Structure 1
């Protein structure tokens, strides 16, 4: 008899395992009580559904066009308790479960100008567990010799370097996507997702991700997750069995986007061009998700909330922002912020036009009436202006004038302090390459990133002057961090065998961003800047109790700045100290050639 019961239980369990449930877990006590569950298994579309669990009400069952899906609308009432919620399906008989949990994470704390983001390409940062470089359930195998191959970096590698990251002065981690990318090739970057609820096993597990976020919090570090709501990978599990014909734009067939992002603001735009932008695929391996399908929209929203709650995230970076549906972005962002009001998120709009970036920021009053809810954006206009300011000859319209003009455009933004500023990122040449591998320009550039309004972001390896002079291939500029692999002769984490220049740049970066941690004026102060004069650009960040004066000198000779020339900001302060070298300056200050000073007002 016991044997018969065991066999029946085994068969019952096997049926449960054959059903894909997304999300498979949720939480009691969420502000939004409603949840939509996707079920996928052969032939379950004709099943009748019963849920018998205190505090759980099955509101509606939706059939899909495919006979292998059901979408369940349920309400999780306040009296519901944590536990396994059985979802019984009849004719054919199946059983599935929703794991209902207590809310325990302190998710959605946000990040702001007091933070410095460290951007990592996880496959290229550090390999802490070589045993997961290849797994039985992923197609592409490791090949560190190829710039587009998988090199083996993982969560354990990042975890081992959390002290390094913290000691460099960084406070927040942003990794390129960590979710499963199970394609045949070029999967290291993470943007071809094939399972939205699973960390790629070559990086680790869901539990490992949750663990490293918690470990980071204990060390004073926050986590931002890179979300990709616009597209999935061509080998995503649902591509073999779409629930609806319109689940993927253009009926699941590759039709290229025109990549004309300004169509969203263009008052003369044709519908043909608008549809080609938002409905076209980014590339052939990235099917474009149809966010106009209400089930897709709900799926993406819940998935984002799931990761925030599950891992305890502080914020989000949102990939390819203008490629998505405007109405979807509006509701998606609002729903997330309704659940997590303190969460900060920034969108990627890769343009040098401040007006286009500003259009998307929360609080912007747009001529077309579009109301966006995303608090911040990536400040590409700043990045472009910074590189031009550093590399161009000084003239009325060039050199420092580029940065001055970019900052003068801040009137366009509802909240310029919520933008993320950076010298480079994972989609462009390394900063050191862009400035001709000039160490003085490097230092001036990072000084600006550290002291300008906004939230600074530094790309991994920038601190040691990583460069890509011989190739602009993404796989090259996303090269391995020295010391992240056993046997590396150069180790950026310990300093072993770094050359003198690498050490100098790393020491400078560490000193700069650790000083920044204590400056309230730089974190959230107001700003006054002055029209560049004769190769000198200067600005001040200040609060009622602190003044930080930044002076940048691109001349080939030293310049002397009398305080009286800037009485608008120096009045009441006759003495300033250099934040980095400690030198004291009274009534005037000398700025070395091709250099800068960050001056802090001394109490009078």
Structure 2
């Protein structure tokens, strides 16, 4: 839509509340924002873009006299209230506070003090989340309320209303910090929170995917300093922090929507135009340009203006924003929302530049398509017919999700029942890096797995055993360990319920064994046992995977390396125990005579002959 048309949406979004100026402004200093607010010396890429916003700022000429720093260029747009200053920061530049002097003609009009900081030691060598990790996904508004004083805040429109399924409930960063020991005890090693940046929409802002300030934590969650503290406290417990990044769209309440840097900053139409959500048009060789364009340029929702990643000024801004948060908060990973809706080539540059700064880092993209060949297209180094390389290290295994939510309910057929996960893994040849796939049974956008299974614990144990022992990086959705349910058809709020015990006055506290039911403790203890074991066994992280075609409802696969071999047996039959002839697996069992089931603790003898496994049961056997 045209800029005039956007004003209707902005009126719905509420009035613009600008962030406090970063320096005291005199009448002679028109600057309202300079972003990023600081930078670091010693970065791999010496270039830095400064977005400067203020009344008629384009009329001023910036100058810098700081050892090692030069102005490469100053870019202005059709909007005189912006200028983009590109700096070159030499490798020997020292940290300090530099003066950016703004002149009109030959006269100094005002100056801005800009901090250049020293990096933390070994910042560039940070390790991102990987296949040794287990990721816990939570929605901060629904996890725990550690600071009721910030449930509502004067700087943002929507106030707390816990009675509303789609309202703000008050969960916050302090609540997460308060329960890091709980996550550590469960066996979690990486934490992915849905976005924590400010979302100033008047309703349904709890999901925080309509960001109104990319450099500010939503005050109902806490402060930037709180987020940094969360990262530090998590790190003390061996937990990496993954930030949820939204590059496809901002929120319509974002401050720049009142005064866009340029008309092509967002995709505009004569009237509101929604995406067709047809991600497949990107890879479809026969797709019309109209369909492809609508997928990429259409708005995700009325409150989510679609950003134009083909604008190089915007792309530099988004890339630097991600790097700023990594450096500032000591992050261990990024998750990129709605990845295939972005323009492809600029996002390749996004990934390349982030990974250039942090070679051992990891970024996972939300790639919600249903065939492995479609998902693989978006992973770095995929052999795509069009030559496209996303430079995206990790993708999300939605095809496996499809298999996991169905197979326990079906009898084995040619490609149904227990065959579904087998078939899914048999197609891993399309992935350049199959071990760098995020694998999961549910998330904040899907039916909860306990709803899918109607609370059947044996079925869940099969699914979770598979997730814990196959290739990839397991992701657990908050509350799964206590059997939380939720129906997608009731709305997103139902699959994002409050964690019981996270709020003062909750009648039940499921963060403690005493507050959980016997069934909940059975599930929690089962998951903890597997996760603790997984953490200590590199064979599951990086070892080889060999599987055998399922027979008679039983799926058998092995994880192996030079030091260890593990045999996983899943019996999906809901009727009888199965006695399987293990001679079929001789190529993997050769040299082994016995084993021990990690789950039950049972010793197993004569494993080269036969093995009996009860109905709807999983076994994880360490071979001896």
Pairwise TM-score range, normalised by the shorter structure: over 0.9
Partner residue in 1 for 2:85: 72
- Pair 1:297–1:11, CA change in 2 (3 A): closer
- Pair 1:11–1:214, CA change in 2 (3 A): closer
Q: What CA deviation, in whole Å up to 9, does each residue of 1:187-226 have, x standing for no partner?
A: 1111000000011111111111111101111111111111
Match of 2:613 among 582, 591, 596: 591
- Pair 1:90–1:591, CA change in 2 (3 A): same
Work out the CA distance in 1 between the residues paired with 2:62 and 2:238.
Answer: 46
Partner residue in 2 for 1:109: 127
Match of 1:28 among 35, 38, 41: 41
Question: 1:599 aligns to what SS in structure 2?
Answer: strand
Superposition deviation, residue 315 in structure 1? 1.0
Partner residue in 1 for 2:593: 574
- Pair 1:469–1:39, CA change in 2 (3 A): closer
Match of 1:56 among 69, 72, 81: 69
Unaligned runs of 5+ in 2: 1-22
1:289 aligns with 2:307: yes
Partner residue in 2 for 1:462: 480
Work out the CA distance in 2 between the residues paired with 1:248 and 1:465.
Answer: 42
Superposition deviation, residue 18 in structure 1? 4.5
1:365 aligns with 2:383: yes
- How do 1:432-581 and structure 2 match up within 5 A? 432-469=450-487, 471-555=489-573, 556-581=575-600
Superposition deviation, residue 11 in structure 1? 7.2
My pick for the range that moved more, 84-93 or 577-586, is: 84-93
Asked whether the 8 Å contact 1:21–1:96 carries over to 2, the reply is no
Q: What CA deviation, in whole Å up to 9, does each residue of 1:537-596 have, x standing for no partner?
A: 111111111111111112211122343232121111010100122111112332111111
1:272 aligns with 2:315: no
Work out the CA distance in 2 between the residues paired with 1:366 and 1:422.
Answer: 25
Asked whether the 8 Å contact 1:229–1:300 carries over to 2, the reply is yes
Partner residue in 2 for 1:302: 320
Question: 2:419 aligns to what SS in structure 1?
Answer: helix
My pick for the range that moved more, 493-502 or 190-199, is: 493-502
Superposition deviation, residue 472 in structure 1? 3.5
Work out the CA distance in 2 between the residues paired with 1:125 and 1:23.
Answer: 30
Question: 2:231 aligns to what SS in structure 1?
Answer: helix
Q: What CA deviation, in whole Å up to 9, does each residue of 1:418-445 have, x standing for no partner?
A: 0010111111010111122211101111
Partner residue in 2 for 1:3: none
Asked whether the 8 Å contact 1:24–1:97 carries over to 2, the reply is no
Asked whether the 8 Å contact 2:30–2:54 carries over to 1, the reply is no
Superposition deviation, residue 16 in structure 1? 5.7
Work out the CA distance in 2 between the residues paired with 1:18 and 1:49.
Answer: 12
- How do 1:340-355 and structure 2 match up within 5 A? 340-355=358-373
Q: What CA deviation, in whole Å up to 9, does each residue of 1:107-164 have, x standing for no partner?
A: 6411211100000101100000000111110100001111110111111100011111
My pick for the range that moved more, 34-43 or 107-116, is: 107-116
Work out the CA distance in 2 between the residues paired with 1:253 and 1:302.
Answer: 32
Q: What CA deviation, in whole Å up to 9, does each residue of 1:432-467 have, x standing for no partner?
A: 111222111011111111001001000000011100
Asked whether the 8 Å contact 2:71–2:88 carries over to 1, the reply is yes
My pick for the range that moved more, 44-53 or 213-222, is: 44-53
Superposition deviation, residue 396 in structure 1? 2.0
TM-score (norm 2): 0.93
My pick for the range that moved more, 42-51 or 149-158, is: 42-51
Question: 1:269 aligns to what SS in structure 2?
Answer: coil
Question: 1:84 aligns to what SS in structure 2?
Answer: strand
Asked whether the 8 Å contact 1:528–1:540 carries over to 2, the reply is yes
Partner residue in 2 for 1:180: 198
Work out the CA distance in 1 between the residues paired with 2:455 and 2:425.
Answer: 25
Partner residue in 2 for 1:426: 444
- How do 1:171-250 and structure 2 match up within 5 A? 171-250=189-268
1:169 aligns with 2:187: yes
Work out the CA distance in 1 between the residues paired with 2:461 and 2:521.
Answer: 13
Partner residue in 2 for 1:4: none
Q: What CA deviation, in whole Å up to 9, does each residue of 1:331-365 have, x standing for no partner?
A: 11111111111111111111111111001111211
Q: What CA deviation, in whole Å up to 9, does each residue of 1:252-287 have, x standing for no partner?
A: 963211111011111112222111111111111000
TM-score (norm 1): 0.96
Question: 2:314 aligns to what SS in structure 1?
Answer: helix
Partner residue in 2 for 1:90: 103
Asked whether the 8 Å contact 1:42–1:67 carries over to 2, the reply is yes
- Pair 1:592–1:273, CA change in 2 (3 A): same
Partner residue in 1 for 2:4: none
Asked whether the 8 Å contact 2:140–2:176 carries over to 1, the reply is yes
Asked whether the 8 Å contact 2:487–2:494 carries over to 1, the reply is no
Superposition deviation, residue 497 in structure 1? 3.0
Q: What CA deviation, in whole Å up to 9, does each residue of 1:269-309 have, x standing for no partner?
A: 22221111111111110000011111011111111111111
Partner residue in 2 for 1:601: 623
Partner residue in 1 for 2:140: 122
Partner residue in 2 for 1:312: 330
RMSD: 1.6
Asked whether the 8 Å contact 1:420–1:454 carries over to 2, the reply is yes
Work out the CA distance in 2 between the residues paired with 1:46 and 1:209.
Answer: 37
Superposition deviation, residue 391 in structure 1? 1.7
Superposition deviation, residue 405 in structure 1? 0.7
- Pair 1:531–1:14, CA change in 2 (3 A): farther
Superposition deviation, residue 14 in structure 1? 7.3
Q: What CA deviation, in whole Å up to 9, does each residue of 1:382-401 have, x standing for no partner?
A: 11111221122222221011
Asked whether the 8 Å contact 1:195–1:237 carries over to 2, the reply is yes
My pick for the range that moved more, 155-164 or 72-81, is: 72-81
My pick for the range that moved more, 556-565 or 24-33, is: 556-565
Work out the CA distance in 2 between the residues paired with 1:352 and 1:542.
Answer: 29
